Amino acid sequence: MNILDRRDFLTRLSLTTAALYLPNYGFSSLVKQEGFIDVEITHGRIRGARNEGVNVFKGIPYAGRTSGDRRFRSPAPLEHWTGIRETLQLGAPAIQPPRQNEPDPSEDCLFLNVWTPANDNKKRPVMFYSHGGGYVGGSGYSRSQDGSNLARNFDVVVVETNHRLGLLGFLYLDEIAGSEYQGSGNRGMLDIVEGLKWVNANISQFGGDPDNVMIFGESGGGGKTSCLYAMPDAAPYFNKASIESGPGVRMTSKENAAETTAMLLKELNISAKDWRKLLAVPALDLLSIQAKFPTVPPFIEKNNNNRRIGFGPVVDGEALPYHPFDPTASAISKNKPLLVGWNEDEYTFFAWQQKDTETFKLDFDGIQKKLEPRFGADTKKIIDTYRKSRPNASAPDIFVAISSITMMGLGSIEIAEKKSEQNGAPVYLYNFGYKSEMKVPGTDYQMGTPHAMDISFKFNNEVPPRDGSQPVASFFGGGRPERFAASHNFAELWTTFARTGKPAAKNAPEWSAYNLQTRPMMRIDTKCEVINNRYSEELAMWRSVGKL
Query: Could you say which residues of the chain have pLDDT below 50?
Result: 1-31
pLDDT score of 12: 36
pLDDT score of 248: 97
Residues 6+ apart with CB under 8 A from 327: none
Closest among 454, 475, 440 to 27, alpha carbons compared: 475
pLDDT score of 305: 55
**CA gap 227, 220 in Å, rounded:** 11
pLDDT score of 207: 98
Q: Which helix (H) or strand (E) holds 256?
A: helix 254-267
- pLDDT tens digits for 2-43? 333 333 333 333 334 444 444 443 433 334 557 999 999 999
Judged on CB neighbours under 10 Å (0-12, 13-18, 19+), 546 is exposed
pLDDT score of 107: 98
Burial 75-102 (b: 16+ CB within 10 A, else e): bbebeeeeeebebeebbbbbbbbebeeb
Q: What's the DSSP call for residue 173?
A: -
Considering the chain, tell me which residue range(s) the CATH 3.40.50.1820 domain(s) occupy: 30-252+315-336, 339-544
Residues 6+ apart with CB under 8 A from 530: 509, 510, 511, 512, 520, 521, 522, 523
Judged on CB neighbours under 10 Å (0-12, 13-18, 19+), 375 is middle
**CA gap 271, 293 in Å, rounded:** 19
Q: 242 has which bridge partners?
A: 216, 339
pLDDT score of 16: 40
AA identity, residue 507: N
**Residue 545: other Cβ atoms inside 10 A:** 15
pLDDT score of 308: 78
Give the domain 339-544 fold.
Answer: Rossmann fold (3.40.50)
Residues 6+ apart with CB under 8 A from 490: 432, 454, 457, 458, 460, 524
- pLDDT tens digits for 429-471? 999 999 999 999 999 999 999 999 999 999 999 999 988 888 8
Closest among 117, 118, 12, 109 to 63, alpha carbons compared: 109
Instruction: Tell me which of 3.40.50.2020, 3.40.50.1820, 3.30.1300.10, 3.40.50.2300 is the CATH number of domain 30-252+315-336.
Output: 3.40.50.1820
pLDDT score of 357: 97
